[in-house]
Amino acid sequence: MKQIIKRPLILITNDDGDMANGISVLTRLMCELGDVIVMAPDGARSGQSNAITVTQPVRYRLLEKTEGLTRYSCTGTPTDCVKLALNEILERKPDLLVSGINHGSNSAINVIYSGTMGAVLEGCENGITSIGFSLCDHSYNADFSIFEPYILKITKTVLEQGLPYGICLNVNAPIGTIKGVRITRQCEGHWTKEFAKRIDPAGRSYFWLTGHFENHEPDAQNTDEWALANGYISVVPTKIDLTAYDMLETIENWNL
């Protein structure tokens, strides 16, 4: 796992689009650490999970090229961005993929909906050390400044230590003062009351996604939700292998 890289090649993407403040901050930080290629969606792609664009083609275009930094935008999803960068842009596999900084939490079950984390899983599948960074603040002008030194420290440490194949990191930060970093697990919970119903001028119903997160284990102190609620940055080591190994024997015994 240990690796020493002089001037790492860093791929950046996000799901809030290439104009978001979060990716600007992340790009500035990563330029301190290595040579940076940005391939970000050309607009908001929140909640795009690991979606890939299959019914239409995708395109990309160059936005900026300076010493150590090249930025592209792409018409597709965050996962498309990673695939395009790896297959069509980069001359070698990057040493690191970072995604974000997301405007909004990707803790608990949100990891499965997140376009930010979709891109991270995509990097992970391709054998790239990959980290997703999110701040629990949806606002356009969210303040990432308190999070910044932690992002640098976490990234430097991951570059030094490496991660095994199939493992990536889901890093979320609370709003306001940060007490420190907790290594946590994905909190169990689900969303309820998920739609706001509206009626259009023709009298037909339509539904906006909204909702309330119900934490199934509010007292557990080793979850990402607990860390965030108590002022800590949460780091969840996250897998691309979804197999429930504990269940293999039980289901074997069903004699299907």
Residues 195-214 that bind its own copies (CB under 8 A): 195, 197-198, 204-209
Residues constituting the chain: 256
Taking the chain, what is the end-to-end CA distance rounded to the nearest angstrom?
40
If the CB atoms of residues 68 and 153 are measured against its own copies, the closer one turns out to be: 153
The DSSP letter of residue 56 is S
> How far from 96 is each of 7, 157, 168, CA to CA, in Å?
11, 12, 11
Residues 167-196 that bind its own copies (CB under 8 A): 167, 169-170, 181, 183, 185-186, 188, 190-191, 193-195
Q: Of the listed pieces 20-28, 31-39, 62-70, 245-253, which binds its own copies according to CB under 8 A?
A: 245-253
If the CB atoms of residues 68 and 156 are measured against its own copies, the closer one turns out to be: 156
Q: How far is the CB of 109 from its own copies (least distance, A)?
A: 5
Peptide bond into 101 cis (omega under 30): yes
> Cα–Cα distance between 116 and 70 in angstroms, integer?
20
Q: Is the dihedral of CA 173, 178, 182, 188 positive or negative?
A: negative
Residues 90-129 that bind its own copies (CB under 8 A): 109, 111-113, 118, 121, 125-127
Is residue 138 part of the contact set for its own copies (CB under 8 A)? no
> Cα–Cα distance between 129 and 94 in angstroms, integer?
9
If the CB atoms of residues 47 and 175 are measured against its own copies, the closer one turns out to be: 47
Is residue 244 part of the contact set for its own copies (CB under 8 A)? yes
Residues 21-80 that bind its own copies (CB under 8 A): 44, 46-55, 57-60, 77, 79-80
- What is the size of the binding site for its own copies (CB under 8 A)? 80
Q: Is 9:90 a contact under the CB 8 Å cutoff?
A: yes
54-58 long-range contacts, CB within 8 A, separation 24+: 58/84
> Cα–Cα distance between 136 and 138 in angstroms, integer?
7
If the CB atoms of residues 30 and 120 are measured against its own copies, the closer one turns out to be: 120
Q: How far is the CB of 101 from its own copies (least distance, A)?
A: 17
Q: How far is the CB of 24 from its own copies (least distance, A)?
A: 21
If the CB atoms of residues 31 and 150 are measured against its own copies, the closer one turns out to be: 150
